[in-house]
Amino acid sequence: MAPSTSSVITLNINGEKYTLPVDHRTTLLDALREHLDLTGTKKGCDQGQCGACTVLLDGRRTVSCLQLAVAAEGREITTIEGVAEGDQLHPVQQAFLDLDGYQCGYCTPGQICSALAVLEEHEAGWPSAVTADVSPEAGPPPLSPDEIRERMSGNLCRCGAYVSIVQAVARAAEVRTSGAEEAVA
Ligand code: FES
Ligand code: FES
């Protein structure tokens, strides 16, 4: 008997479970967009180059066009549809809105998912390629425009909204820091 080329899988997306049959070659991106109508995640290059399809897998950013849907079973998947709390935008979304961090908006879901991970990675002390002092005792470097550009460099914007995108990520980082300080005070 020929081996089966499809399976029924269950994906955990934005806190909800979705059970669907997929061909084993289906990417996570196509499962989201074509099977589940979660079209917030965008397809740009479909080959891991542009970042438009960025989602979070167990809190880590990934390009969903290079992930097989079957390999995402059992993982926590967060797409742009799961970032806001009801009508309350996430501070990263609000910063993109307030600072015009987009033009056509096609790359924006990926930019926002990536920015969410940037803030987590930075807070966890991960260095980037432009971090001057990578010794563990140095702690997280200031999230300067250069740091933001480097950390967001996997997300391309054909409209060239980069100046505003960098400002939006910086604003979101400030909001996050002030929120953490208020919680401690
Ligand atoms: S569509 Fe996935 S990286 Fe471009
Ligand atoms: S806002 Fe148009 S591609 Fe980025």
CATH code of the domain containing 30: 3.10.20.30
- CATH code assigned at 174: 1.10.150.120
pLDDT digits (tens, 9 = 90+) for 30-82: 999 999 999 999 999 999 999 999 999 999 999 999 999 999 999 999 999 99
Picking from 56, 82, 108, the residue at the C-terminal end of a domain is 82
At residue 101's C-alpha, the angle toward residues 32 and 52, to 5°, is: 25
pLDDT band at residue 185 under the 50/70/90 scheme:
low
For the ranges 10-24, 52-66, 89-103, 167-181, which has the lowest average pLDDT? 167-181
Distance in angstroms (rounded) separating the CA atoms of residues 89 and 78 = 15
Centre of ligand 2 to C-alpha 143, Å, is 23
Q: For residue 18, give the H/E element and its range.
A: strand 16-23
Which residue of 28, 41, 45 sits with most ligand 1 atoms within 8 Å of its CB, as the best mutation to test the pocket? 45
173 lies in the same domain as 153: yes
Are 128 and 172 in a shared domain?
Answer: yes
Percent of the chain with pLDDT over 90: 89
78 and 47 in one domain? yes
Same domain, 96 and 165: yes
CA distance 63 to 66: 6
The reply to whether 1 falls in a domain is no
With a CB cutoff of 8 Å and minimum separation 6, the contacts of 88 are none
Residues 62, 105 within the same domain:
no
DSSP alpha helices (H): ranges in the chain?
A: 28-30, 91-98, 108-123, 145-151, 162-184
Q: Which residues of 133-147 are buried (b: 16+ CB within 10 A; e: fewer)?
A: eeeeeeeebebeeeb
Asked which of 54, 82, 110 is the last residue of a domain, the reply is 82
Q: Are residues 97 and 178 in the same domain?
A: yes
Residue ranges around ligand 2 (CB below 6 Å): 102-108, 157-159, 161
Residues 76 and 153 in one domain: no
At residue 138, does pLDDT exceed 90?
Answer: no
- What's the total number of domains in the chain? 2
Please give the residue range of the domain that contains residue 160. Answer: 91-184
Residue with tokens 């930075």: 122
Q: Are residues 95 and 166 in the same domain?
A: yes
Does residue 122 share a domain with residue 53? no
